[in-house]
Amino acid sequence: MALRAFIRLLALALATVPLSFLLWDGTGPLPALIGLGLMSLSLLYLRWLAGGGNLTRWQLRYHLTPEDDTGRLEELLHFLAQKTGHLVVEASGQGLFLELPAAFDRYVEAQLPRALPELRLARDRSTSKNQRGRSSFFSVGLPDGNLLGWATEGETRQMRLHIHPGPYVTLLAQTDGVRPPGHWIRIRLPQRFWQRLPLWDELSAGVRLSSLLPPTGNGAVYSSRSHLLQLALPDNYATEPTGRTLGQASDGRLLTLGYGVPLHTVGAPVPFLVRLALDDLATGRAVVIISPHRRILERIAQRAGDTPIHWLDSQNSHRSAHLSIVSAAQWATTDIDATVQSMQTFLADLGLDVDLPHVGEYTYRLLHALAEYARQTGQDLTFTDLHTFSQSTQALRAFLAEAQNAASDSARQLLARLDDDAGYVQAVTILSAIRTALKPLGAGALRDLCQPPFLNASQVLQEKNLLLVPMTNVDFPEHDRLLSAMLDLTLNRVLTNCSHLSLSLHLHDLYLYRSDRGKRWIDAARQDPRISLLSDINNPDFCTLDRDEQQASQVVFRCSEALASSLIVEWGLPASAAELTELPAGAAIARFLGTVVTLKASEE
């Protein structure tokens, strides 16, 4: 129904009331009854139209500049208006939304993205509601193409564009009392009528619908000018003089993070990861980078300048460093009990259940005998030594017989147990578990990495050095897990023996080669000021939130839908999940000591 026709019907209905008094002698109450009936029918008709069916609310995000060809968009809006009879485009500080009958959902999902370049649609479960104290306005002039854009720029503004076949449009606005630009009159409308206004304004006949959608120039990504991209640092924020520089906040200030705070990133671009590694080197720290992405490691190595570079690369043994548990030259400064504990942790990482009392006690004595024998004979203690005596009880018996001659109490006790049936069964079970865990050392590249000459890890990590560890054995992931556990043992020994060192540990996609998802190193970095940790998850589906806001910082460059939903709830973000899954390139959402800000990573 046209607004002009509705006004005429109301005027006619109201006019019949005084007319009935003038013609009462001839017609009686008939004109009044006709007028009241006409008014009632009109209002009932409007109520029926305003009732409507189920609507689906979509959030629109797109790139649209004045130069874009909007012909296809114009055709699509005409089609929707013709078929639906009435659709709504709503603009507010929360975004730009399209409301359509639910029956058109599949059509909209398929066709609308073709009409706008890089259009993104997201279902929105919220509904627009009137708020007390707000003023409603009705447009009495031709629609202005900037009105929807104007509405998205303020939290107190809300604009509803009702589109009818023809096309005709009707504009309604709600503000905190400020009249929108243009020709408007203040009105009062019921909530239901505001949402589903069935009237149209004939003054707007023939308007170009596509001209009413706000352009998103100046590099804007969201037509709503989303609050997500405007989260700024607190006014009292001060940069860390010796921390990592992460990038620029939305207000232009640099965002820095102290080395003592673990940094977790999700989907970080390669230039960002390379720059942070080089920045850590520039501070004089030793940097260890473990990554399944060899191209990142190669890029860091190329740009490291004159920094000494060491590789631990099972696929290139010619350039790779070699690892031992304890080299012969280190026994004078090595505590046997600490070494045995680190070896137990190493086996536990590979699946041996050393927490069981009998398993833990037997394993401790076995490792203690091995370490004590190597120290007394002045030999290297290597990972292949563990693999050798685990091959059979005969190999173990031969080792223990030789070790007891070196005055090893642990060796004597274990040798005596082998003569007992229960002790023999226990030995067979534990040796089988160790043999299975160390199976990749039987032959091949990993075995070569356990042969002398060995890397002096203590010296490397106490100086400005770069240690690169590629985890790229996709066909045999157990090889990467073993290499990661070997490196853990080495790093733990160095941290135990060296009180003065500054270590930056970068872990990329650690879920691929670590069963604990890096929890041990995260906890260690929180407690040990010598360790600065960076962990990056390239695939957001494998990311879990660290809820300890005071001791961690998270920078999210890419989101999955599940992660986006978690971030919105945990961080209280003023955004929909779709906005997070479509972050602009180089932009990120960072939680920094309890504050959530927008971050733009600086370019290389």
* Whole-number Å distance between alpha carbons of 313 and 384: 17
Same domain, 92 and 186: yes
Same domain, 479 and 574: yes
Query: How far does the chain reach from its first CA to its final CA, in angstroms?
Result: 60
pLDDT of 1: 64
Same domain, 260 and 395: no
pLDDT value at 407 more than 60: no
The answer to whether the predicted template modeling score (pTM) of the entire model surpasses 0.75 is: no
The identity of residue 55, as a single letter, is L
Same domain, 492 and 596: yes
User: Do residues 140 and 184 lie in contact, with contact meaning Cβ atoms separated by under 8 Å?
Assistant: yes
Range of 185-199, 297-311, 391-405 with top mean pLDDT: 297-311
Burial of 204 from C-beta contacts in 10 A (0-12 / 13-18 / 19+): buried
Angle between helices 294-302 and 270-282 (to 10 degrees): 40
Helix (H, G, I), strand (E, B) or coil at 243: coil
Confidence category of residue 345, pLDDT binned at 50, 70, 90: very high
Range of 34-38, 271-275, 437-441 with top mean pLDDT: 271-275
Same domain, 421 and 358: yes
Partners of 535 in beta bridges = 264, 507
Same domain, 115 and 147: yes
pLDDT of 219: 46
Cis link prior to 470 (omega < 30° from 0)? no
pLDDT of 221: 47
* More reliable by pLDDT, 301 or 419: 301
Same domain, 278 and 254: yes
User: Do residues 362 and 434 lie in contact, with contact meaning Cβ atoms separated by under 8 Å?
Assistant: no
* Whole-number Å distance between alpha carbons of 480 and 512: 8
- Domain edge (last residue) among 168, 197, 225: 225
Q: How many CA atoms lie within 13 A of 393 on its CB side?
A: 16
If we measure between CA atoms, which residue out of 279, 256, 245, 260 comes closest to residue 525? 260
Same domain, 341 and 467: no
User: Which H, E and C letters describe 473-488, residue by residue?
Assistant: CCCCHHHHHHHHHHHH
Same domain, 437 and 489: no
Q: What is the pLDDT of residues 550-603, one digit of tens each?
A: 456 899 999 888 898 888 888 888 777 777 887 777 889 998 877 889 888 865
* Whole-number Å distance between alpha carbons of 449 and 298: 20
User: Do residues 354 and 347 lie in contact, with contact meaning Cβ atoms separated by under 8 Å?
Assistant: yes
Same domain, 317 and 464: yes
Of 35-39, 267-271, 417-421, minimum mean pLDDT range = 35-39
Same domain, 408 and 557: no
- Domain edge (last residue) among 423, 447, 471: 447
User: Do residues 354 and 361 lie in contact, with contact meaning Cβ atoms separated by under 8 Å?
Assistant: no
Residues spanned by the domain of 130: 52-225
Q: How many CA atoms lie within 13 A of 477 on its CB side?
A: 7
Structural domains in the chain (count): 4
The domain spanning residue 251 has which CATH number? 3.40.50.300
- Domain edge (last residue) among 447, 470, 504: 447
Same domain, 201 and 338: no
* More reliable by pLDDT, 29 or 106: 106
What is the percent of the chain where pLDDT is above 90?
28
Considering the chain, what is the average pLDDT of its residues? 84
Confidence category of residue 405, pLDDT binned at 50, 70, 90: confident
Q: What is the pLDDT of residues 108-148, one digit of tens each?
A: 888 888 777 667 777 776 655 545 568 899 988 888 778 88
pLDDT value at 549 more than 70: no
If we measure between CA atoms, which residue out of 490, 129, 502 comes closest to residue 283? 502
Of 228-242, 425-439, 527-541, minimum mean pLDDT range = 228-242
User: Do residues 44 and 9 lie in contact, with contact meaning Cβ atoms separated by under 8 Å?
Assistant: no
